[in-house]
Amino acid sequence: MEERLRDLQQVMAAHREALAEARGAPNAGAANPDAPDGRLLVLRRLARDIERVSGIEITGIIEAKLARVLSSVDVAELAAWAGRLRLLPANHPEWLSLIEALTVHETFFHRDCAQLDLLARILRETIATAAANGRCCLRLWSAGCATGEEAYTLAILALLALRDAGFADESREGGIVCRPPWQLDVLGTDISRLVLTQAKNAVYATEGLSAFRDLPHELRRFFPILRRPGEAPATELRGVLATVSRHVRFRHFNLMAGSPPETGFDVVVCRNVLIYLTETARGGAQLLLREALRPGGHLLLGPTDALAEPAAYEPCWGAGAVAYALKPPR
């Protein structure tokens, strides 16, 4: 949080010069910063713009966070900055810095065992159907992947399912390698560029409430301990085995984009993301997730997420978990 605050303060500082000019500009804000409640009005308008750009619901907690993050900024400067911001595209670095300060990136490997057991079954069935149709490819999308743990978990589960089906082999390094012509492709996307950098690095500390807190012991082999020659690191670090990470790509994507980054996915996972969005944004995001699926493909949502279009899917139940299979078009 401190780091993000500093980022944002840097962004604000970099714009002080431009703001002097913006003060005289007509877009400097319809809200009058000199009015007694001017600051509140500016923050409220900014909150509405944040909802529009990111879909993030401005709850009391987020409102307080926003007020705290911007508390050191003079109200006239804030109004001018917010006025300039609303003219910038959603993927502009200034928007991204602000959204960075407001998003929650909590995640860990093998999150929600019950749902992942169900996913393992779905993957086995998907592989069998694909093989029967001569399609030797599996495509999965982790939408709102944060620092990458979910995307790597999907890749490991898919490799295990391919091995069990006889389409992948154990490797000497302790990984699993697809047997040609089988291909596995996992996409991880997030609105935050910062977390995507960490996801691509694929290095995770093991201490405290770590990314490995729920990882079953037998899956630890996919995360070798990293050691630099002659150096004992202060914290133990684990990397992701290359036989796993070679199947995982990361790219920046805002779920408010209107259409998916790619289509034809066998599985789309969007967990613990929609809860942070407004109802309208949740509906829009779910449309986009549906468009990304191939017919018969499965959607997995977070435990408290309601399905926006139940008629489009067939529920698929596991022990304490549900996924949704997209019905073929009529």
Ligand X SMILES: C[S@@+](CC[C@H](N)C(=O)[O-])C[C@H]1O[C@@H](n2cnc3c(N)ncnc32)[C@H](O)[C@@H]1O
Interface positions with ligand X (CB under 6 A): 54-56, 103-107, 111, 144-146, 150, 190-192, 195, 254-256, 271-273, 276
Q: How far apart are the first and last CA of the chain?
A: 48
Omega prior to 181 cis, within 30 of 0: yes
CB of 18 to ligand X, least distance (A): 27
Q: In 3D, which of 175, 172, 155, 161 has the Cα closest to residue 269?
A: 155
| CB of 126 or CB of 254, closer to ligand X | 254
What beta strand segments (E) does 119-215 contain?
137-143, 168-170, 176-178, 183-190, 203-205
Query: Token pair of 49, please?
Result: 């713009």
| CB of 144 or CB of 297, closer to ligand X | 144
CB of 105 to ligand X, least distance (A): 4
CB of 54 to ligand X, least distance (A): 5
CB of 231 to ligand X, least distance (A): 31
Q: Give the long-range contacts of residues 307-312, CB within 8 A, separation 24 or more.
A: 308/282, 308/283
| CB of 23 or CB of 105, closer to ligand X | 105
| CB of 303 or CB of 315, closer to ligand X | 303
Torsion region of 47: left, alpha or beta (phi above 0 gives left; psi -120 to 50 gives alpha): alpha
Q: Give CA 247 to chain center in angstroms.
A: 17
CB of 99 to ligand X, least distance (A): 7
Rounded Cα distance between 189 and 258, Å, is 15
Amino acid 231 reads E
CB of 53 to ligand X, least distance (A): 8
Rounded Cα distance between 158 and 175, Å, is 12
Tokens 């900014």 sit on residue: 46
| CB of 152 or CB of 182, closer to ligand X | 152
| CB of 239 or CB of 261, closer to ligand X | 261
| CB of 32 or CB of 198, closer to ligand X | 198
Amino acid 105 reads H
CB of 137 to ligand X, least distance (A): 23
